[in-house]
Structures are given as structure tokens and as C-alpha cells.
Structure 1
Amino acid sequence: MTDPLAALLLGILEGLTEFLPISSTGHLLIAQRWLGARSDFFNIVIQAGAILAITLVFRERITALATGLGEARNRDYAMKLAVAFLVTALVGLPVRLLGWELPETVTPIAWALIIGGAWMIVAERVAERRSPDGAEVTWTIAVLVGLAQVVAGIFPGTSRSAAAIFIAMLAGLTRRTAAAEFVFLVGIPTMFAASAYTFLELAMDGGLGGETWADVGIAFAAATITGFMVVKWLLGYIEHHRFTGFAIYRILLGAALLLWIPIGE
């Protein structure tokens, strides 16, 4: 397989999996076993494509919040977004510096997919027993979403979006679209900060070379376009459907990985 085609497929895969509750890290790690391992710089670039995609999807919402801070409702929502991000940053940075993270190998990711899938099914059923129209983001929810993002960073395969969306639903934000919107909006500064931090680390260590710029550009464009379409579709889908299909997919994928991949990898 040619490098441009492999880059295209990896970019599409990033766009498909970054915002679906199925773990982009797990899918990219598995895909790179067959498409060839890529540098941390390449992975940052395709994540930047995903950040651009989510920003474009919510551009009107972001603009409304930025220009409407004079209104109490917008100001309150923006402050809760800021709190969720700050919790992630203030807790996540020490965790990263201390190296508290499972290795990105297939076996722990497979178990994270299975356990996360089962947890999604249970969590959604528990959340539905509460008010099905819960759409108010509380300060508690904002803090818990921030912490959920940290947990997802420690356990590759968990899925940042899944961890944050379901903890928000369990905490009372039971309307799926409201939970997803809050999590995705928090994800913009979170992903941007994480990518910028990794970029600076690579720049200081001299690790920014070695990639073909044409391949990087192809992957970035693919991740942006695919991510945009996926988020638009997902927001419409979860308005009338549960997350059960994604949970079952996670469980089946995790089980397949445990059967097909040698133990310890």
C-alpha cells in the first residue's frame, strides 16, 4: 500500500472514531499494525483535523456564546465549559508528568473496549430511569466531565467522548444531544491544549521531522472532512436512538482483539 493511501485511510479513521464513543486511540493503534506506524507528529496533525471539524460543526454555537456573554444563560454555560476544561488541565497535567498511563498496547485496549461497552449499556439504562428530559448542565456535571476526560487519557481505549458523555448522563444530563454537545464543546480546548503540549514536547526533542508533508496534508484533510460528517450524523442519530449499537460494537471488537492478537501485545 502506498504511503498517501495509508495516510488517507488513517485520516478517515481518525475522523470516524474521534467523536464516536468507540475509542480513536484503539482504532488507530490497531490500524497502524497493518498500515504502518506513524510518528507522534502525524497523530497530532490528524487530531488537529478533528479539532477543526468539531469547531466547524459548532461554529454558530461558539459564536453565539462568544457574542452573547452579556446574557446570564450564555455566561453560565461558558463558565461551566471553562470549569470542565480547567479540571482536565489541572488534574491531567500532573497525571501526564507522572506518567500515569497504561501502555498503548492491544491487550489493555481490548479490555477497555469490552468493559467500556458494558458500562455504556448499564449507564444509559440507569440514566434513563431519571428524568428523560434532563438538559441542564450543573457545576457538578462540569467537574465530572473534566475528570472523565482525565480518566480516558489514563486508560487508552476508554474513549474520551464516551467517558465524558456517560458520566454527564449519570449525573443528570440525561438528554443525549445536550450531553454530547457539552462534551464536544469542552473537547475543543481540551484537544487543542493536548495537541499543543505534545507538539511543544516534540519540538523541544527535535521530533518534528521524518514525515512527508503531502501525506500529512492528505491525512489532515481526510480527518477534518470525515470528522465533520460523523459529528453531524451522530447528533441527529442520538436524538432518537440509544448508544447501544456503539456499546455492542466495542464489546465485539474487544473480544475479537483478545482472540486474534497474541497475549501481551
Structure 2
Amino acid sequence: MIDLFKALLLGIIEGITEFLPISSTGHLLIAERWLGHRSDLFNIGIQAGAILAVVFIYRQRLWDLLAGFGKPSNRDYALKLGVAFGITAVLGVLVKKLGFELPDQVTPIAWALILGGVWMVVAEYFAGKRAQALGERSDISWTVAVLVGVAQVVAGVFPGTSRSAATIFVALLAGTTNRAAATEFAFLVGIPTMFAATAYELLDVVKSGQAVHEDWAAFSVAFIASAITAFIAVKWLLNYIQSHRFTAFAIYRVAVGVALLLLVPAGS
């Protein structure tokens, strides 16, 4: 029962942090130090639970893209989603083949949170300047699509960076000055990305025989908790960005990063 409660907490943490620009991976790695280490399948699987929330929220948009694929604007948008995902998939597999593993120390995560927070403030400033120069632009260019794909991989390599923050701000800086449009594209690209990552990890676990050791009850509890809390968090965020900047998230990141460096100075 205690283990299920810990899995529930991890699922809630994942659901809240996956799409808020504060880094879900960084928070999970830190939380695991008190709630127990989990398998890669568990961590990636509950991210897929959070993605389900986005699928539900954007279900009409996804259906319009699918049903109206013959329409040039829909086809163009869908192809750009495909390009962004393709770049992420290729580079992601390459990173995996090179043997990259997430750090098990707090210090690099803390610095990623701090530097990411500073970068968000700087990026928001320049994104605002770009918006003034270009005006309100909701279109997604091929440059934006490519850079968003690369940003997803960078966020995966450096826990604490935040996939949502990296992709949203890359889109804003590259010319999509409308926050809602940039956020929508970033979130929609995350759907095939996280589902593919989960499938890849699941296949690897099944091949290696580790699946028999997975605690599927805890996995299920965390998966459902992640999906529910992510739905609430995304709905809140989409409303929040209509009238607020991302500054509060940047301050939070810096505060958490500094606190971690002070409380865990050895990074152990």
C-alpha cells in the first residue's frame, strides 16, 4: 500500500510538471530520491499518461487535421508536425545508441533548472521584441518545425531543461509570435514523441525480460494519476498564458535550483 501511495505521488508530480515549463524529468529524478527509484519504463510510461491528457484536450484539433488532411493548410501543418517528430525520433535513437543515461546526481539538475530559468527570462524578452517587429503571427514555419524537433532532444539530454519550455520558446523566437499557437504546436509534437518513446522503452524492456519485474499495479496507479493531473495542469496553463508571461515559472525554477544546491551541496 505504501508503494502504491509513492507511485501515486510520482504520477501526480509527473502530471503537474510535464507541460508546465519547469521540467518533469528533473522533478521526478529529485522526487525518486525520497520516493524510491523507478524503472525507465515507469518514468517514460507515466509521461505517456500525461500525453493522453493532451490528446483529449486537443482531440477536435487532431480530428480536424486527420479528417481535413486534403486541405492545404491542414496538410502543411500535419507535415510540419511529422518533420518535427522525425527529427526528434532520429536524434533520440542516436542519443540512445550512444549510451546516454540520465544523471543520478542532484547538482546538474539544479544547475539546469537555474540556467533554464535565466534563459526563459532572456528568451521571453527577445521573443517580445520579435513579436513587436513581426506582429502577431500564428503560422508555423518549416524552421520552427525543425528547431522544435531539435529542442525536444536537447531537453531529453539535459534533465531540468523542460521539453515544454524549450519547444515553446524556440517556436516564439523562430517567428511564431502567438503564444497559444506556439504552445499548441509544442504540445501536439509531444504526442507522437512520448508515445514513441514509451513504445521503444517497452519493446526494450520486453526483449530484455525486465517486464516480469515491473510493478504493474504501481505503474497503473501512477499512469492514471499522471493523466488526470496533466489534464488539469494543461487546461490551467492554456488559460494562464492568455494574459500572463512565463516569468513566474522562471522564478520558480531558479528558486528550486538554488534551494537544491544549498540543501544538497554534495549533489548526492
Matched, 1:92 2:95: no
**Conserved 8 A contact 1:107-1:257:** yes
1:29 aligns to what? 29
**Conserved 8 A contact 1:152-1:158:** yes
- Give, in whole Å, the separation in 2 of the partners of 1:93 and 1:211: 23
Q: TM-score, normalised by structure 1?
A: 0.96
2:161 aligns to what? 158
**1:205-253: CA deviation from partner (whole Å, max 9, x where unpaired):** 1111334333222111110110111111111110111010001100000
**Conserved 8 A contact 1:17-1:27:** yes
Shift of 1:3: 1.3
- Give, in whole Å, the separation in 2 of the partners of 1:192 and 1:93: 14
Shift of 1:48: 2.0
**Conserved 8 A contact 1:135-1:173:** yes
- More moved, 54-63 vs 1-10: 1-10
2:51 aligns to what? 51
**Conserved 8 A contact 1:102-1:108:** no
**Conserved 8 A contact 2:41-2:198:** no
Closer, same or farther: CA 36–100 of 1 in aligned 2, 3 Å: closer
Number of positions where the alignment pairs a residue of Structure 1 with one of Structure 2? 265
Shift of 1:30: 1.1
2:250 aligns to what? 247
Closer, same or farther: CA 101–168 of 1 in aligned 2, 3 Å: farther
**Conserved 8 A contact 2:44-2:194:** no
1:205 aligns to what? 208
Closer, same or farther: CA 102–20 of 1 in aligned 2, 3 Å: same
Shift of 1:153: 1.3
1:236 aligns with one of 220, 234, 239: 239
Shift of 1:99: 2.5
**SS in structure 2 at match of 1:231:** helix
1:186 aligns to what? 189
Q: Percent identity?
A: 63
**Conserved 8 A contact 1:134-1:175:** yes
**Structure 1 unaligned blocks of 5 or more:** none
Closer, same or farther: CA 102–210 of 1 in aligned 2, 3 Å: closer
1:263 aligns to what? 266
- Give, in whole Å, the separation in 1 of the partners of 2:241 and 2:94: 34
**1:24-66: CA deviation from partner (whole Å, max 9, x where unpaired):** 0111111111112222232233122112111111111100000
**Conserved 8 A contact 1:84-1:144:** yes
- Give, in whole Å, the separation in 2 of the partners of 1:216 and 1:91: 28
**SS in structure 2 at match of 1:220:** helix
1:145 aligns to what? 148
**Conserved 8 A contact 2:21-2:162:** yes
- Give, in whole Å, the separation in 2 of the partners of 1:100 and 1:211: 22
Shift of 1:8: 1.1
**Conserved 8 A contact 1:65-1:74:** yes
RMSD: 1.4
- Give, in whole Å, the separation in 2 of the partners of 1:49 and 1:102: 21
**1:10-31: CA deviation from partner (whole Å, max 9, x where unpaired):** 1111100011110101111111
- Give, in whole Å, the separation in 1 of the partners of 2:36 and 2:212: 17
Shift of 1:155: 0.8
Shift of 1:102: 5.5
Shift of 1:198: 1.2
1:134 aligns to what? 137
Shift of 1:101: 5.3
- More moved, 15-24 vs 207-216: 207-216
Q: TM-score, normalised by structure 2?
A: 0.95
**1:173-208: CA deviation from partner (whole Å, max 9, x where unpaired):** 121111110000000001111111111111111111
